[in-house]
Amino acid sequence: QVQLVESGGGLVQPGGSLRLSCAASGSIFSIAAMGWYRQAPGKQREWVAFITSGGETNYADSVKGRFTISRDNAKNTVWLLMNSLKPEDTAVYYCNAVRVENYEAYDYWGQGTQVTVSS
């Protein structure tokens, strides 16, 4: 199995930046892809970014050009660099991992880290 722990959230002013990290442990080399999701109070969880084990990335339209996802297999860490932050980016950000074993997929989630964008 895979364990995920997020960190790096906090309070930032509009236009500022934050870097989130997700530390993975367990069967880390069986992870096929990882991503970041976010959920604002009273709203549905939203996909933010995605990265494969080979390093290919995809982004939601709402964050494309502002956020960057990266992965360091040697350090067992996935990063989300968030630039030009807006108040609507305020949410709890969750790290997600998908592990594939014996042709079956397993989904894992971190505990989340709060990001607040406000003056």
The C-alpha atoms of residue 45 and residue 27 are separated, in whole angstroms, by: 26
Residues in Cβ contact with 89 at an 8 Å cutoff, skipping those fewer than 6 apart: 38, 63, 82, 115, 117
Mean of the pLDDT values across residues 80-91? 98
For the chain, what percent of residues have pLDDT higher than 90? 79
Per residue in 22-63, pLDDT tens?
Answer: 999 988 778 889 999 999 999 999 999 999 988 899 999 999
Query: Which of 24, 18, 56 has the alpha carbon at shortest distance from 38?
Result: 18
Three-class DSSP category at 20: strand
Phi, psi dihedral angles at 69 (to 5 degrees): -105, 140
pLDDT for 15 equals 98
